[in-house]
Structure 1
Amino acid sequence: MQSVRVGAYGVCIDEGRILLIRFAGGDPRWSLPGGGVDFGEHPVDGVVREVEEETGYAVRVGSLLGVRSHVWSSTATHQVSVLYEVHVVGGELRHEVGGSTEEAAWISVEALETLPHTDELRAGLDLFHQRPADGCCVKQP
Structure 2
Amino acid sequence: MIRRFGDSPRPDVAYRLRPGAYAILPHRGRLLVTHQAEPLPELQLPGGGIDPGESPVQALYREVFEETGWLIARPRRLGAFRRFTYMPEYGFWAEKLCIIYRAHPVRRLGPPTEPGHRAVWITPEQAARDLGNAGDRHFVSRETHCL
Map of 2:108 onto structure 1: 91
Map of 2:81 onto structure 1: 68
The partner residue of 2:61 within 36, 45, 48 is 48
The letter for the 2-side match of 1:4 is L
The partner residue of 1:27 within 40, 43, 58 is 40
Q: Per the alignment, do residues 130 and 89 of structure 1 end up closer, same or farther by CA in structure 2, a change over 3 Å counting?
A: closer
Map of 2:22 onto structure 1: 9
CA RMSD of superposed structures (Å): 2.7
**What CA distance in whole angstroms lies between the structure 1 residues aligned with 2:110 and 2:127?**
19
Map of 1:118 onto structure 2: 133
**What CA distance in whole angstroms lies between the structure 1 residues aligned with 2:100 and 2:128?**
21
User: Structure 1 residues 34-43 or 118-127, which shifts more?
Assistant: 118-127
- Structure 1 unmatched ranges of 5 or more: 132-141
User: Structure 1 residues 87-96 or 101-110, which shifts more?
Assistant: 87-96
Contact in 2 for aligned 1:2/1:76 (Cα 8 Å): yes
User: Structure 1 residues 89-98 or 58-67, which shifts more?
Assistant: 89-98
Deviation of residue 88 (structure 1)? 1.6
**What CA distance in whole angstroms lies between the structure 1 residues aligned with 2:42 and 2:108?**
24
Q: Per the alignment, do residues 104 and 112 of structure 1 end up closer, same or farther by CA in structure 2, a change over 3 Å counting?
A: same
Q: Percent identity?
A: 28
Deviation of residue 82 (structure 1)? 0.6
**What CA distance in whole angstroms lies between the structure 1 residues aligned with 2:106 and 2:128?**
28
Deviation of residue 120 (structure 1)? 3.9
**What CA distance in whole angstroms lies between the structure 1 residues aligned with 2:24 and 2:129?**
19
Contact in 2 for aligned 1:20/1:104 (Cα 8 Å): yes
Deviation of residue 113 (structure 1)? 6.0
The letter for the 1-side match of 2:47 is G
Contact in 2 for aligned 1:10/1:51 (Cα 8 Å): yes
Q: Per the alignment, do residues 96 and 107 of structure 1 end up closer, same or farther by CA in structure 2, a change over 3 Å counting?
A: farther
Structure-1-length-normalised TM-score: 0.76
